[in-house]
Chain A
Amino acid sequence: MQFNTQVVSPVTPLMVCTDIELIAAHDNRKTVGKISVTNPRMRCRNVNVFYGDKQAINRVNLDIGRHEVIAMIGPSGCGKSTFLRCLNRMNDTIDSCRVTGEILLDDQDIYDKKLDVVPLRAQVGMVFQKPNPFPKSIYENVAYGPRIHGLVSSKSDLDVVVESSLCRAGLWDEVKDRLDQPGTGLSGGQQQRLCIARTIAVGPEVILMDEPCSALDPIATAKIEGLIDELREEYTIAIVTHSMQQAARVSQRTAYFHLGDLIEVGETNQIFTNPQHKLTEDYITGRFG
Chain B
Amino acid sequence: MNNGAKIKPGSTMERVNANLAKRYAKERRFRRMGLAAIVISLMFLGLLFGSIISKGYGAFWQTYIQLEIHFEPEDMDLHGNRSLEVLSAVDYGGLVKRTLREMFPKVKKRKEKRKLYGVVSNGAAFQLREMVMNHPDLIGRTVQVWVPADDDVDMLIKGHIDRHKPESERRVKDQQIAWVDELQRVGKIEKRFNTTFFTAGDSREPELAGIHGALMGSIFTLLITLGLSFPMGVAAAIYLEEFAPTNRFTDFIEININNLAAVPSIVFGLLGLAVFINFFGLPRSIPLVGGLVLTLMTLPTIIIASRAALKSVPPSIREAALGIGASRMQTVFHHVLPQALPGMLTGAIIGMAQALGETAPLLMIGMVAFIVDIPANMMDPATALPVQIYLWADSPERAFMERTSAAIMVLLAFLISMNMLAVLLRKKFEKRW
In angstroms, Cα B338 to Cα A134, docked, is 11
Cβ-based interface call for A149 (8 A):
yes
Beta-carbon contact of B322 and A90 below 8 Å:
yes
- CB of B336, distance to nearest CB on chain A (Å): 11
The residue in chain A whose Cβ has the minimal distance to the Cβ of B319 is A128
Number of A-B contacts (CB under 8 A): 73
Contact with A along B241-257 (1 / 0, CB 8 A): 00001100000000000
Asked, given contacts A93-B318, A130-B316, whether A135 binds B323 with beta carbons under 8 Å apart, the answer is no
Chain B residues closer than 8 Å to A61, beta-carbon distance:
none
In angstroms, Cα B325 to Cα A199, docked, is 10
Cβ-based interface call for B326 (8 A):
yes
Chain B residues closer than 8 Å to A90, beta-carbon distance:
319, 322-323
Question: Which of B315, B323, B330 sits near A126, CB closer than 8 Å?
Answer: B323
Chain A residues closer than 8 Å to B321, beta-carbon distance:
134, 144
Q: How large is the interface on A (under 10, 10 to 19, 20 to 34, 35 or more residues)?
A: 20 to 34
Chain B residues closer than 8 Å to A93, beta-carbon distance:
318-319, 322
Q: Give the one of A133, A135, A184, A202 with max B CB within 10 A.
A: A135
Beta-carbon contact of A148 and B322 below 8 Å:
no
Cβ-based interface call for B188 (8 A):
no
Beta-carbon contact of A134 and B335 below 8 Å:
yes
Contact with A along B323-351 (1 / 0, CB 8 A): 11111001000110011000000000000
Tell me what chain B mostly uses at the interface: helix, strand, loop, or mixed. Answer: helix
Beta-carbon contact of A148 and B325 below 8 Å:
yes
In angstroms, Cα B433 to Cα A185, docked, is 9
Chain A residues closer than 8 Å to B327, beta-carbon distance:
118
Asked, given contacts A1-B315, A128-B316, whether A184 binds B323 with beta carbons under 8 Å apart, the answer is no
Beta-carbon contact of B323 and A121 below 8 Å:
yes
In angstroms, Cα B55 to Cα A200, docked, is 69
Asked, given contacts A135-B339, A135-B433, whether A122 binds B319 with beta carbons under 8 Å apart, the answer is no
In angstroms, Cα B339 to Cα A226, docked, is 34
Chain B residues closer than 8 Å to A132, beta-carbon distance:
314, 316-317, 319-320
Q: How large is the interface on B (under 10, 10 to 19, 20 to 34, 35 or more residues)?
A: 20 to 34
In angstroms, Cα B433 to Cα A134, docked, is 10
Within A55-107, which residues are at the interface with B (CB < 8 Å)? 88, 90, 93, 95
In angstroms, Cα B327 to Cα A120, docked, is 11
Chain A residues closer than 8 Å to B330, beta-carbon distance:
148
Beta-carbon contact of B316 and A202 below 8 Å:
no
Question: Which of B314, B315, B322, B334 sits near A121, CB closer than 8 Å?
Answer: B322
Contact with B along A112-138 (1 / 0, CB 8 A): 000000111110011110101111100
Within A1-43, which residues are at the interface with B (CB < 8 Å)? 1
Cβ-based interface call for B106 (8 A):
no
Within A179-200, which residues are at the interface with B (CB < 8 Å)? 182, 184-185, 195, 198-199
Cβ-based interface call for A145 (8 A):
yes
Q: Can you identify 23 A-B contacts, CB atoms within 8 angstroms?
A: A1-B318, A93-B319, A93-B322, A95-B245, A118-B326, A118-B327, A125-B323, A125-B325, A126-B319, A126-B323, A127-B323, A128-B320, A132-B316, A132-B317, A132-B320, A134-B335, A135-B338, A135-B432, A144-B321, A144-B324, A144-B334, A198-B320, A202-B325
* Residue positions of B touching A, CB distance < 8 A: 245-246, 314-327, 330, 334-335, 338-339, 432-433
